[in-house]
Amino acid sequence: MTRTISPTRLATLLGRAPERHPAYRSVAEALRLLVDDGRVPAGTRLPSERALAETVGVSRATVTRAYALLTEQGYASSRRGSGTVTDLPDAASRDGRGALMPRIEGGDTGVVDLTCAVMPPPVQMHTAYEQALTRWPTYLQGSGYYPLGVPALREAVAARYTQRGLPTSADEVMITSGAVGAHAIASRAFLRPGDRLLLDSPTYPNGMEALRADGARLVAMPVDETGWDLDAWEAALPRTGARATLLLPDYQNPTGHLMSEGERARLGRALTRHDVLAVVDETLVETRVDGPGVPSPFAAHHRRTITLGGASKSHWSGLRVGWLRAPARLMGPLAAARTTLDLGSPVLEQLALLELMAHDDEITASRAEVARSRRDTLVAALHEHLPQWRTRVPHGGLCLWVTLPEPVSTPFVVAAERHGVILAPGPRFAPEPGLERHLRIPFTLPEPTLRDAAHRMARAWAELDPGAHARHDLATPLIA
Ligand SMILES: Cc1ncc(COP(=O)(O)O)c(C=O)c1O
């Protein structure tokens, strides 16, 4: 299957008709940037020359020459009968495939690790464990196996959904080993090799890798500065025959976008119409910093939804407690899949989370305050030291998604490492090669460290060697 793009959509992405001469070079350059940063992913069939020429308002010869130039530069290939299809010149080396792994194991190494977006644990953590220990004796009398989770925590998670406008009972909740554990369970239960799955580009790599591991064929749906392109989703659902989708509507990692209630309703209707299973990762839902409140959970708009969540962003990653919520009729296959992966999550950690949840109002408010100050510090430092970079200030999530003036994310990350800053390049977040004009920068470290990192990044930017990525096997490991 080859993805297509309509002449109107491509014309919108290309912007105004080129004014520079020769016009074909301007069109080719604009197309190259779109392919490089993933807004037109590699593997997209471009509109016919005539259709694009008419829509953009240039001559057909201009588009013919622009396509030829792209092909010459390795950004497209053309085959008789199948038109011009976008490509990346060194697709294999730019493929950001690979799950995120932690890079630095504690200690003061002098290196700033910006690969991991995690906040410090709440001050209530120690007391929560102490209180959990007081409940412990009751649990020690049992076998210790709770493949669906400790009942009291399942009830608390269900009550939270009900409070957010999605009536839920404890039998619709399973406690998992982190949200990534929930990804693995959902994909093992419902995906078969070759199933087409629509997902955001960029997206959170570890979720996407869990799906890929079970053989799903990933179809990237670009998310840009304005968010989701629902026209494109509505067109892609029937055309691709997608069986499932992975969505992050709540402060999407890495862009920080929040899907509005209206968008949830519209996308939910489209998924219902095509009977597509939605896997919705709402791990970041509690990371609101400011701006509008979070709309109702996506599952309120589409019943065939498996919602994944976890305590890593709301409380602490070290708890390793997550959950999934699904309609009761999907729970059988999910429970069966879970026991092929593990037989439950640690009981003490579940009890500690239960204690922490009793203090959620305080915890969320104080984390938002810390996150706001760190976000604003990083935005200001980038403005000052790297004014050529562009970023949207997100209302939540834990990262900035930066647009670079050139498609040099990977060589820049190589250069930054020499200055003691470890970063994830844009392609790491791409289901398919692309996103070289982007960089994810978490704002979760303390303010002085973020300011120091901005200085170091500015020095690295100043001495950037755009050819460097060809010589490096960049496998920056990341986790969150
Ligand atoms: C969207 C998303 N899902 C899941 C995770 C990881 O969740 P957990 O630590 O609960 O496995 C992260 C961590 O960054 C994330 O951003």
pLDDT of 124 > 80? The answer is yes
Tokens of 356: 């922490």
Residue 94 confidence (pLDDT): 44
> Which residue, judged by its Cα, is nearest atom 12 of ligand 1?
480
pLDDT of 164 > 90? The answer is yes
N-terminal to C-terminal alpha carbon distance within the chain: 31
Ligand 1 atom with minimal separation from the 181 CA: 11
CB proximity list for 456: less than 8 A, separation 6 or greater: 112, 416, 419, 420, 421
Pocket test for ligand 1, best of 204, 255, 353 (most atoms within 8 A of CB): 204
* Ligand 1 contact, 220 CB (< 6 A): no
Euclidean distance between CA atoms 463 and 372, whole angstroms? 31
Residue 478 confidence (pLDDT): 63
Per residue in 188-206, pLDDT (tens digit) is: 999 989 999 999 999 999 9
Q: CB–CB of 423/413 below 8 Å? A: yes
Q: CB–CB of 415/468 below 8 Å? A: yes
Pocket test for ligand 1, best of 313, 316, 319, 350 (most atoms within 8 A of CB): 313
* Ligand 1 contact, 180 CB (< 6 A): yes
- Domains defined for the chain, CATH in brackets: 3-89 (1.10.10.10), 94-121+362-471 (3.90.1150.10), 125-358 (3.40.640.10)
Ligand 1 atom with minimal separation from the 118 CA: 14
Pocket test for ligand 1, best of 115, 180, 187, 298 (most atoms within 8 A of CB): 180
Phi/psi for 219 (5° steps) reads -115, 115
- Cα-to-centroid distance, 125 and ligand 1 (Å): 19
Tokens of 185: 């369970």
- Cα-to-centroid distance, 179 and ligand 1 (Å): 6
pLDDT of 218 > 80? The answer is yes
Per residue in 59-98, pLDDT (tens digit) is: 999 999 999 889 988 889 987 777 999 887 765 444 445 5
The SS3 assignment for 288 reads coil
pLDDT of 121 > 80? The answer is yes
CA distances from 214 to 141, 264, 348, 422, 464 (A): 37, 27, 31, 30, 38
Residue 1 confidence (pLDDT): 57
Q: CB–CB of 469/421 below 8 Å? A: no
> Which residue, judged by its Cα, is nearest atom 3 of ligand 1?
283
128-137, Cβ contacts within 8 angstroms, sequence gap of 24 or more: 128/352, 128/353, 128/355, 128/356, 129/348, 129/352, 129/355, 131/352, 131/355, 132/348, 132/351, 132/352, 132/354, 132/355, 133/348, 135/351, 136/347, 136/348, 136/351
Calculate the average pLDDT of the chain: 90
CB atoms < 10 A from the CB of 299, how many? 24
User: How would residue 301 be classed by pLDDT, with cut points 50, 70 and 90?
Assistant: very high
